Chains A and B, each alone.
Chain A
């Protein structure tokens, strides 16, 4: 079963994401309300997917994504945010995140995106297997 880590300061969004991911058979192995914990959680769980909010107390999601992908380039990150400003989108693209979902989340659209990202992750893993 694929696994995910959810990072969002809103308890409601964490519930919503947990429901969406559970619906497509993804196990949420950890959650955090700030970007400060992303690196440690990734190291501990090596999830197939990380969802990241941008505006959070402590470390913001863009910084967390940049740092995580620097140390774990295979990490699959989907940003889940309400920000549509160009600088944030460009920063996320440059960091190497897989996708950028806008809040309020449309469950059907989010499921599609997560499944797409997970399929590509498993294809990439199969290609790199000996």
Chain B
């Protein structure tokens, strides 16, 4: 299968993410029940972008976290650390890793087979299907990227 996740799959993936975010003390709800199509472009400087490259039915997943979300995640991972930019990027990376890793079960249950790679900070996002969560700390965006050729 070389397809992007359908709306049901995105919704299940986001539901999974909501459960994980709750463990970080972040309350989130799905913002759009109909996923949008994202285009390639730069990520807003007020958010931290993290891409997770994927082997399998999609090419990758990019998360966009508001700074306040990464600050909250960092304070849960390591409450005693000073929250400098490096720590915030590390927190965003690990948050993306956890959200994607835990969300794989939702993708698998809809027939998508993928294996994730370690997260990387990214200033841009590629085209794909977008899911959005709203939280009290700002909107979290996830983009599923289409694989342009075979695996």
B-side interface mostly:
helix
Q: How far is the CA of A16 from the CA of B91 in the complex (A)?
A: 12
Query: Do A103 and B78 have beta carbons less than 8 Å apart?
Result: no
Contact of A83 among B23, B80, B104 (CB under 8 A): B104
Q: Report if B8 contacts A (CB, 8 A).
A: no
Q: Report if B116 contacts A (CB, 8 A).
A: yes
B64 CB to nearest A CB, Å: 19
Give the residues from 1 to 53 in chain B that come closer than 8 angstroms, CB to CB, to chain A: 20, 23-24
Q: Report if A111 contacts B (CB, 8 A).
A: no
Query: Do A104 and B24 have beta carbons less than 8 Å apart?
Result: yes
Query: Do B116 and A55 have beta carbons less than 8 Å apart?
Result: yes
A85-112 toward B: CB 8 Å interface, digit per residue (1/0)?
Answer: 1000000000000000011101000000
- Of B93-101, B123-131, B135-143, the stretch lying at the interface with chain A is B93-101
A residues near B67, Cβ cutoff 8 Å: none
- Given A11-B90, A12-B90, A12-B94, answer yes or no on A84-B101 (Cβ-Cβ < 8 Å): yes
- Given A10-B97, A55-B117, answer yes or no on A16-B102 (Cβ-Cβ < 8 Å): no
| A interface residues, how many (CB within 8 angstroms) | 20
Q: Report if A30 contacts B (CB, 8 A).
A: no
Residues on B lying within 8 angstroms of A by beta carbon are 20, 23-24, 74, 76-78, 80-81, 87, 90-91, 93-94, 97-102, 104-105, 108, 116-118
Residues on A lying within 8 angstroms of B by beta carbon are 9-13, 15-16, 19, 55-57, 81-85, 102-104, 106
